[in-house]
Amino acid sequence: MACAMKCRLLHPTPKAWPARGEFPAGHIIDHRQAPILVQMGAAESADEECAQAVNRTPEQLAAAQRAYTRVRLGIHPHDFEAFDEGRMAGYNQDGSWKPGPNYEEPAEDNAEEESEEESE
Amino acid sequence: MSIIKTKGTVFSMGVGGASAAIAQVISLDLPEVAVETFEADTLDNTDEGIPHKSTGRVEGGSVGGELFLDTAIHTAITGFLATPPSPSDSPQGTGSITFGGGGSMSFYIAGVSLGGTVGLKEGLKGRFTCKLDGTPTYA
């Protein structure tokens, strides 16, 4: 039987159904599948056994963790740049952006377009 | 009544008790959940229509999908294949789909299959199927 290994979740993570609610970021998962969560970028190793089982370079893990921050929110590839720049943080139910910390009102673009039209 | 947007939809599989989002999914095929029926015609039936009855059982079907395959990060799927749950494990596996426009479905997974296509003019694509154990729950 495979032994349990530990990883630490990097984000608030829903519990697998049928359990309701979510694990907070930082929660320790003690399970034989812990290395899989680390390989996916959802968690970091929390003990030596898990770190050895993960079998990835630090660069691969960093890339997986960067990608997972977008994957968990369902960010479309067209919006990766905006998400990485903090201009959007996800989607509303109508598909519009949830504003990120660096969100800018699109009204400025309209103002530029209007001024361009006036100059023409 | 509304048409649900698909942008922002997340497919997740249960890993170690947590629900982990699967990366690089291109499309998903929802399960065709079906009530099992049988033909209940008799020799003395004078109606033109062929009668059918429900057995009272429901087939959960499968969740399938296509993704840009990267075996380094799709370890939730390859891990399921490498170490399949034993029949006594309960649940055997779990999954969920959270729709970008609202709503979700959750299900148990009995088994997984994974294939793929290597094409000259496109990226490496994988095709996966999750056989449901029971029927999904909609929320």
- In this model, does residue B18 exceed pLDDT 60? yes
Q: A3 vs A50, which has greater pLDDT?
A: A50
**List of chain B residues whose C-beta atoms are within 8 Å of the C-beta of residue A8:** none
Residue A109 has pLDDT above 80, yes or no: no
Q: Tokens 């034989």 map to which residue?
A: A32
The pLDDT value given to residue A119: 57
Closest to B12 (Cα-Cα) out of A50, A73, A66: A73
**Cβ pair B8:A9 closer than 8 A:** no
Asked whether the beta carbons of B48 and A46 are under 8 A apart, the reply is: no
pLDDT surpasses 80 at B72: yes
B35 touches B46 (CB < 8 A)? no
Tell me which residue in A13, A17, A31 faces B106 most closely, judged by beta carbons: A17
Give the length of chain A: 120
Q: Could you say which DSSP state residue B89 is in?
A: -
Determine the average pLDDT of the residues in B37-48.
96
CA distance B78 to chain A (A): 10
pLDDT for position A115: 56
pLDDT computed for residue B134 by the predictor:
94
Task: Report, as an integer, the average pLDDT of B113-132.
Answer: 95
CA proximity to A30, closest of B15, B5, B44, B88: B15
Mean pLDDT of all residues in chain B? 93
CA angle (A38, A41, A42) in 5-degree steps: 80
Check: CB of residue A3 under 8 Å from CB of residue A32: yes
Q: State residue B54's pLDDT score.
A: 98
Per the DSSP assignment, residues forming a β-bridge with B24 are none
A91 touches chain B (CB under 8 A): yes
The pLDDT assigned to A35 comes to 95
Interfacial B residues in 63-102 facing A (CB < 8 Å): 72-73, 75-76, 79, 83, 91, 94-96, 98, 100-102
Q: Using 50, 70 and 90 to split pLDDT, how confident is the model at B3?
A: confident
How many whole angstroms separate alpha carbon B58 and alpha carbon B126? 29
Cα B9–chain centre separation: 14
Sign of CA dihedral A7, A53, B111, A40: positive
**Is residue A2 over pLDDT 80?**
no
Window 16-35 of A, Cβ < 8 Å to B: 16-19, 23, 29, 31-35
B chain contacts of residue A60, beta-carbon cutoff 8 Å: 72
pLDDT (tens digit per residue) in B73-121: 999 999 999 988 887 877 789 999 999 888 899 999 999 999 999 999 9
- CB of A36 within 8 Å of any CB in chain B? yes
**What is the arithmetic mean of pLDDT over A42-48?**
96
ipTM for the complex? 0.83
Residues of B within 8 A of A71 (CB-CB) are 10, 21-24
Tell me the per-residue pLDDT of A61-100, one tens digit each, with 9 for 90 and over.
999 999 999 999 999 989 999 999 999 999 988 888 999 9
**Residue A5 three-state SS:** strand
Question: Residue A74 contacts by C-beta under 8 Å, 6 or more apart in sequence?
Answer: A90, A91, B7, B8, B9, B10, B21, B98, B100
The pLDDT score that the predictor gives to residue A40 is 95
- What confidence category does residue A105 fall into, taking pLDDT thresholds of 50, 70 and 90? confident
Interchain contact A2–B (C-beta under 8 A): yes
Identify the pLDDT of residue A112: 57
The pLDDT value recorded for residue B1 is: 67
The Cα-based distances of A99 to A73, A86, A88, A106, B82 in angstroms read: 13, 8, 5, 11, 41
Question: A47 or B91: whose pLDDT is higher?
Answer: A47
